[in-house]
């Protein structure tokens, strides 16, 4: 190895190490060479599709998604002793989403770039070409259909099959037909299902990496923070710092509002994922969040009820045609309508408090709901509730309660000194005060009383008559 070649090789490796980070360039330890991982530049709204079959485990389904990043094209290289003066680098080119035919076309193009720059270092030019011109050179557009092609199948593939596999256009077709597939071209993936997983995982990881390296303003505390200290909601992409979201989430969970873990931006309905909540809150709070979220989800299921025993409360699947529920945990058989012990076809028993609620519910219900309530509680129970409501309404309008025993008393006529039919207590109909048993009339003779001289109300005169006239029989 000449000193000029050795110095040029060393300078090129040092230059690449200074330009690219460790994820993009790694120098080999034992030989003059290394590995570069080139992320191909993608246009906006670029989508990739994979067509599956049963051998791939995708069961004839089609998969398509929009991505910002694709797994890198990997260039492994080693310098011969006479590089760059005479020989090019020895290399292999591998990819997960490019076929061997496409990689063969790229290998040929790298050879051509070397011929155009013979005698000069060429790795940086190779890497720039792979990064910036791969899609254009291979005539790849969106949506791009990725396929896995076996080597023996590609050797016998026709031009039409190559085009359907996303082959590289005229340059790739010529390379494949005339020279076969390049041994340096490697499609590094086992199956279509693993390809999908690789694509999605890499795209997500790169998006996270870009997010973590940028600065964002939290709209809660208005502080500038790195993306690594922030979190964004997946649907709306609104960004807030982790510290503020942690306090916000913990407060909502403590109050039991697990469905309120939404983006704090006004009028935004994006909801945090369980994974995001788990990242921020303490383990005990997340367990509470998980439990409440499950319970609220079960509550929305019309065929799920809960065991009425306070110490159990396990969810129970209800048969559509039956009102009986059997708890799988404690084996309690209960009526799913009234939560009491199962009573077969007999109507549900109604307590006095429930009767009040029942009549209100029945009066406000539509015809279908009324039929359901009659079937559940029995038509006679419903009628009784309505009758009691009518009686209660009449009593409230036409009677007053005895101040001693609370018996309803109706006043048809006569003076305002009343006698309770139940406990025989005297009381004033006007102010409802209990009166003296020995002389109840002093209440109406006391000038300090609000009922002074209001013993009898004369209907025809439309006025109260003095009690003295009433007692003397002169109030004619």
Residue with tokens 């003076």: 415
pLDDT tens-digit series, residues 276-299: 889 888 888 888 888 887 777 666
Respond yes or no: is residue 260 known to be catalytic.
Answer: no
Catalytic residue among 107, 165, 263, 415: 415
Domains 3-204 and 216-299 equal at CATH topology level: no
Name the more confident of 136 and 395: 136
* Domain covering 216-299, topology: Herpes Virus-1 (3.30.40)
Instruction: Work out the average pLDDT over 404-422.
Output: 84
**pTM score:** 0.54
| Most confidently modeled range among 85-94, 181-190, 332-341 | 85-94
CA angle 374, 376, 378 (to 5 degrees): 50
For residue 21, give every residue at least 6 positions away whose Cβ sits within 8 Å of its Cβ, in sequence order, or none: none
The reported pLDDT for the residue numbered 58 is 52
Q: State the CATH architecture for 3-204.
A: Roll (3.10)
344-371 per-position pLDDT tens digit: 877 767 655 566 677 777 777 788 777 7
What pLDDT score was predicted for residue 229?
92
SS3 state of residue 213? coil
Q: Which long-range contacts (CB under 8 A, 24 or more apart) does 314-322 make?
A: none
pLDDT tens digits, 3-46: 888 999 999 999 999 999 888 999 998 888 999 999 999 999 99
The SS3 of residue 183 is: coil
Domains of the chain, by residue range, sit at 3-204, 216-299, 304-335, 352-398, 408-472
Q: 207: Cβ–Cβ under 8 A, 6 or more apart, which residues?
A: 68, 69
């Amino acid at each position: 190895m000449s000193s000029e070649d050795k110095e040029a090789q060393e300078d090129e490796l040092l230059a690449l190490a200074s330009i690219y980070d460790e994820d993009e360039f790694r120098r080999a330890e034992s030989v003059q060479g290394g590995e570069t991982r080139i992320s191909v530049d993608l246009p906006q709204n670029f989508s990739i599709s994979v067509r599956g079959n049963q051998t791939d485990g995708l069961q004839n389904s089609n998969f398509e998604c929009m991505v910002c990043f694709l797994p890198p094209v990997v260039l492994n290289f080693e310098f011969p002793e006479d590089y760059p003066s005479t020989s090019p680098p020895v290399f292999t080119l591998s990819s997960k989403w490019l076929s061997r035919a496409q990689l063969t076309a790229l290998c040929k193009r790298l050879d051509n770039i070397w011929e155009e720059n013979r005698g000069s270092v060429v790795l940086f030019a190779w890497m720039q070409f792979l990064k910036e011109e791969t899609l254009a050179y291979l005539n790849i557009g969106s949506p791009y259909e990725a396929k896995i092609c076996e080597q023996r199948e590609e050797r016998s593939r026709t031009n039409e099959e190559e085009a359907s596999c996303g082959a590289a256009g005229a340059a790739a077709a010529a390379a494949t037909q005339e020279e076969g597939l390049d041994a340096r071209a490697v499609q590094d993936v086992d199956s279509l299902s693993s390809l999908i997983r690789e694509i999605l995982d890499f795209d997500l990881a790169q998006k996270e990496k870009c997010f973590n390296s940028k600065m964002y303003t939290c709209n809660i505390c208005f502080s500038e923070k790195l993306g690594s200290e922030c979190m964004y909601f997946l649907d709306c992409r609104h960004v807030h710092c982790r510290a503020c979201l942690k306090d916000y989430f913990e407060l909502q969970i403590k109050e039991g509002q697990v469905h309120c873990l939404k983006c704090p931006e006004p009028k935004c309905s994006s909801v945090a994922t369980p994974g995001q909540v788990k990242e921020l809150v303490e383990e005990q709070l997340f367990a509470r969040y998980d439990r409440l979220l499950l319970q609220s989800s079960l509550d929305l299921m019309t065929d799920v009820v809960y065991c009425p025993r306070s110490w159990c409360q396990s969810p129970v699947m209800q048969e559509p045609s039956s009102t009986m529920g059997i708890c799988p945990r404690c084996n309690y058989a209960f009526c799913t309508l009234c939560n009491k012990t199962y009573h077969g076809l007999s109507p549900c028993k109604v307590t006095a408090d429930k009767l009040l609620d029942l009549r209100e519910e029945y009066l406000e219900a539509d015809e279908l709901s009324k039929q359901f309530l009659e079937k559940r509680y029995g038509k006679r129970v419903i009628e009784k509730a309505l009758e009691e409501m009518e009686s209660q309404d009449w009593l409230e309008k036409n009677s007053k309660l005895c101040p001693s025993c609370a018996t309803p008393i109706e006043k048809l006529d006569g003076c305002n000194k009343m006698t309770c039919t139940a406990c025989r207590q005297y009381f004033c109909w006007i102010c409802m005060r209990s009166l003296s048993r020995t002389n109840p009339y002093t209440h109406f003779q006391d000038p300090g009383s609000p009922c002074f001289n209001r013993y009898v109300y004369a209907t025809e005169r439309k006025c109260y008559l003095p009690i003295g006239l009433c007692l003397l029989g002169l109030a004619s």
